[in-house]
Amino acid sequence: MDMITIARPYAKAAFDFAVEKKAVDKWLTMLGFAAQVASDPQVEDLINSNLNAEKMADLFLAVCGDQLDEQGQNLIKVMAVNGRLSVLPAVVLEFASLKAELDREVEAEVVSAAKLTKQQMAKIQASLEKRLDRKVKLNCSVDKALMAGIIIKAGDLVIDGSVRGRLSRLAETLQS
């Protein structure tokens, strides 16, 4: 099994926790420090020895000192028990890629029947940011064929609030 496959569940669990606690940057720093410790040749020898998991976790945490908070220490203990401290550098890489995904801005295509006001655009942007839990950049255009309303496409989310869309859904319902 490759390192990333082993590291992914640890990175995902740490990332989900960090997002929930709004501490993603803090966790990236903690994991980066722990990965540097795990990459030290002397510590690598210790990790690869047949020392029991509890002693190994205690030694590892002693080296890390106060660089890890209680939850970070708990992650190290779990990884030690499972014999996975050697994958810490891969956990950091996976965590960093999850963070990059979270920080990414999503673009939303907004097609309206008439030109939107700045206030309408701000309201749409705020609603989408709340729903998608990301920064949203709007690309607005006008299509008079919509008759009225708007169509919003952001990633795989499509919201059709146009009169044309409503009429076609009504026609489908009546035909079925």
Dump pLDDT digits (tens) for 53-68. 899 999 999 999 899 9
Q: Residue written as tokens 């990332």?
A: 15
pLDDT beyond 80 at 28 = yes
Report the b/e string of 86-121 with b at 16+ CB within 10 A: bbbbbbbbbbeebbeeeeeeeebebbbbeebeeeee
Average pLDDT over residues 25-43: 93
pLDDT beyond 90 at 95 = yes
pLDDT band at 1 (very low <50, low <70, confident <90, very high): low
pLDDT beyond 90 at 49 = no
Q: Residue written as tokens 């206030």?
A: 119
Cα-Cα-Cα-Cα dihedral sign, residues 64, 9, 3, 29: negative
Q: What is the pTM of this model?
A: 0.59
CB-CB contact of 34 with 61 (8 Å): no
pLDDT beyond 80 at 105 = no
CATH architecture of 3-102: Orthogonal Bundle (1.10)
**Where in the chain do CATH 1.10.520.20 domains reside?**
3-102
